[in-house]
């Protein structure tokens, strides 16, 4: 069975995203994608949602 994990972060910089990626992939999760929520008045995203998947037996 495929299960999902979603990590929400308002720290949208390279070091914060690297830490999330390294932490969860070491736990056996595989990166599915990163989705950014943009701010209206800025070109930089205000938040990121990092999604992972993992196969688990039922």
Structural domains of the chain in order of their starting residue, each with its CATH number: 2-55 (3.30.1660)
Per-residue burial over 20-41, b = 16 or more CB atoms within 10 Å of its CB, e = otherwise = bbeebeeeebeeeebeeeeeee
Can you give the C-alpha Rg of the chain in angstroms?
13
Spell out the per-residue pLDDT of the chain, length 58, in tens. Answer: 999 999 999 999 999 999 999 999 999 999 999 999 998 888 889 999 999 999 988 7
Contact call for residues 1 and 22 (beta carbons, < 8 A): no
Token pair of 57 as six digits: 């037996």
- Under a CB-based contact definition with an 8 Å cutoff, are residues 7 and 50 in contact? yes
pTM of the complete model: 0.87
């Amino acid at each position: 069975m495929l299960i999902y994990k979603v990590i929400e972060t308002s720290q949208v910089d390279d070091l914060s995203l690297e830490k999330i990626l390294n932490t969860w992939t070491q736990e056996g999760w595989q990166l599915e994608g990163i989705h950014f929520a943009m701010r209206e008045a800025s070109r930089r995203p205000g938040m990121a949602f990092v999604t992972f998947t993992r196969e688990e037996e039922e």
